[in-house]
Amino acid sequence: MSAAQALTLSEAGYVLNRAPALLNKAVDTGVIRARQRRVGSAVQRLLGPAEMRFLLVAERLDKDLTPKGRRRLYDAIRQLDVDAHRVSLGEIVLDLGKVDRDLEGRLERLEALRGWVEPAADGTDPVVKGTRIPVYMVAALARKQSVSEIGEDFPSLTHEQIEGAIEYAKAYPKRGRPYPTTSLKRALADLADLGAFDESPDETTASPREIP
């Protein structure tokens, strides 16, 4: 992660496996600082390399850090060069090599997710690359259907594409009206099954059989 690179709270939440709301709260309470970027009329919060490194380290040392120690650690990491992998807290020296490698791997996964997606030809929601299937529609289906079931409904998608779409939606949540959580194919099948059930004889109203 370069010194100039910064992630939105949704991207950072995906990389750190934390809810964006928790990261937002950490900024509000002064645990970490966030850069700001204006997007239209809104202001977007961004987390830089120091914040990402600190949150990973603090998570692993949670039980060993006092509030004061946490603040000292954050200040030390903020002053650290992005290419340096050791941070000193008085006589204590922490090796950030493993944390940095872990963070780099997670960032590479985020970058790979972007490769699964491309803009739609009509400028609407992004689609799974090489298809016309909206990414957010696949992610919405995953709330009620398994990857295998989604694959049955959309046989042109591989399991890897489906999983990529689900992960992408976590890092880049859809804004506006959500997609249905059941595919049209499955919904029609459910209706057909319901119709067949309704057409079955009602034993409570059927005429009694004559007894010879």
- Residues 107-122 pLDDT 10s: 999 999 999 999 888 8
Tokens 């299937």, located at residue? 133
Q: Report the share of the chain in percent with pLDDT over 70.
A: 86
Residue 177 has pLDDT above 90, yes or no: no
Give residue-wise pLDDT tens across range 142-158: 999 999 999 999 999 99
Distances (CA, A) of 63 to 52, 97, 110: 19, 21, 29
Predicted pLDDT of residue 30 = 94
Asked whether 124 and 116 are in contact (CB, 8 A), the reply is no
List 134's β-bridge partners, or say none. 127
Question: Which pLDDT band holds residue 182 (cuts at 50, 70, 90)?
Answer: confident
For residue 205, the model assigns a pLDDT of 45
Average pLDDT, the chain: 86
135 closest CA partner among 166, 175, 176, 170: 166
Is 70 exceeded by the pLDDT of residue 203? no
- Mean pLDDT throughout 79-84? 90
**In this structure, what token pair is assigned to residue 114?**
């972007």
Torsion of CA 24, 30, 33, 36, to 10 degrees: 60
**From start to end of 34-165, where are the E strands?**
35-39, 42-47, 86-89, 92-95, 117-118, 127-128
Residue 20: per-residue pLDDT: 95
pLDDT 10s digits, 91-107 = 888 899 999 999 999 99
Residue 42 dihedral angles phi and psi, to the nearest 5°: -100, 160
DSSP 62: G
In the chain the domains, ranked by start, together with CATH numbers, are 7-111 (no CATH), 116-198 (1.10.10.10)
pLDDT tens, residue by residue, 32-77: 999 999 988 889 999 999 999 999 999 888 778 888 989 999 999 9
Q: What does each C-alpha distance from 151 to 79, 124, 173 come to in angstroms? A: 48, 23, 22
The tokens of 154 are what?
């959309």
Please name the residues in contact with 90: beta carbons below 8 A apart, sequence gap of 6 or more: none
Query: What was the pLDDT predicted at 12?
Result: 96
- pTM for the model: 0.78
Give the lowest-confidence range in 80-84, 104-108, 139-143, 206-210: 206-210
- Segment 118-138 shows an average pLDDT of 91
Distance CA 105, CA 114 (A): 15
What pLDDT does residue 206 have?
Answer: 45
Rounded to whole angstroms, the Cα distance separating 162 from 149 reads 11
Nearest to 130 by CA among 140, 139, 117, 142: 117
